Amino acid sequence: MTALQPRDDVASKIAVPSISNFRDVGGHALPSGKIRTGRLYRSAAPRQLNASDTEAFGMMRLTTIVDLRGRDEAAKSPTLGHDTGSIRIVSTPVEPRTSGRVQQALADGSASAALMRDLMISSYRHYVTEAAPAFGDALTALLISDGPALVHCTAGKDRTGFVVAVIQSALGASENDIAADYLRTNTDWDRASVSSHLPLDSDVVAPILRADMDYLTAAFKEIARHDRGVHGFIERATQGRVTRAHLDVLLHQGD
């Protein structure tokens, strides 16, 4: 496994501009060491790479890509848009709960910022309850992967943000570091690339176009209520397939 990973100093510099909201999940300090870089990446849906980014993408030496998009979302835009060679694509569909209700509200005039915010909070709570098995499949694929992995949904904002926050929390990252990584979506995500069907300049839809700590907090409160913490959630969602040893692969000891 180690042979498949770029060195930490190389991995931390990889950039793939053609993929929106892309970043390495690693680098955050832990009580002992830090989260390893070059092992887990996150992004919006990776479509066709341009020529200048193909080499950078290859430097990640991915063995696994986990796609959290719903079935219809994934069918409209296949991951990478070409033969992925030896990379294993794992689909763990978490169907979007807000899109249909958002379109209905915009069409019938009932849309409001408050409604959109409530829909987002409800969606995040759903991640912990009905959607837990799909997230368990995603966690299993990411953490038992035999090499570097990438996780994405459509925007890399909500479903991806949630699963990454769960992993970071389970490893012992601070709340501030988890929040900082989650909120980077607000600067790193090219909204126009995946939200052309929405009025992007409307205050009404603003709550569904941003990463908001109230959303992630709602999910973690649900985890506390159901599972008493992220380790309990991981055990329940993965049905015991993911152990502490699997999480430890993401640890880097020392400076």
Question: Rounded distance, CA 81 to CA 12, Å?
Answer: 26
Give kind and range of the element (H or E) at residue 19: none
Residue type, 174: S
Residue pLDDT, tens place only, 113-163: 999 999 999 999 999 999 999 999 999 999 999 999 999 999 999 999 999
Query: How many Cα atoms occupy the beta-carbon half-sphere of 201 within 13 Å?
Result: 0
pTM for the model stands at 0.90
- Nearest alpha-carbon partner for 163 in 174, 172, 152: 152
- Burial class of 108 by CB neighbour count within 10 A (0 to 12, 13 to 18, 19+): exposed
Query: What integer pLDDT is reported at residue 2 of this predicted model?
Result: 28
The one-character DSSP state at 49 is P
Question: Rounded distance, CA 128 to CA 221, Å?
Answer: 10
CATH of domain 2-252: 3.90.190.10
CA 146 to chain CA centroid, nearest Å: 19
* Residue of 198 and 3 predicted with greater confidence: 198
Question: Rounded distance, CA 222 to CA 180, Å?
Answer: 21
CA 171 to chain CA centroid, nearest Å: 16
Name the band, by pLDDT with cuts 50, 70 and 90, for residue 8: very low
Residue pLDDT, tens place only, 26-46: 999 999 899 999 999 999 998
Residues 6+ apart with CB under 8 A from 201: none
Is it the case that residue 201 has pLDDT exceeding 70? Answer: no
Longest dimension (CA), the chain: 57
Q: What are the two backbone dihedrals, phi and then psi, of residue 120, each rounded to the nearest 5 degrees?
A: -65, -45
Residue pLDDT, tens place only, 173-193: 999 999 999 999 999 998 876
**Cross-strand pairs, 240:** none
**Cross-strand pairs, 65:** 89, 150
Q: Are 60 and 38 in contact (CB under 8 A)?
A: yes
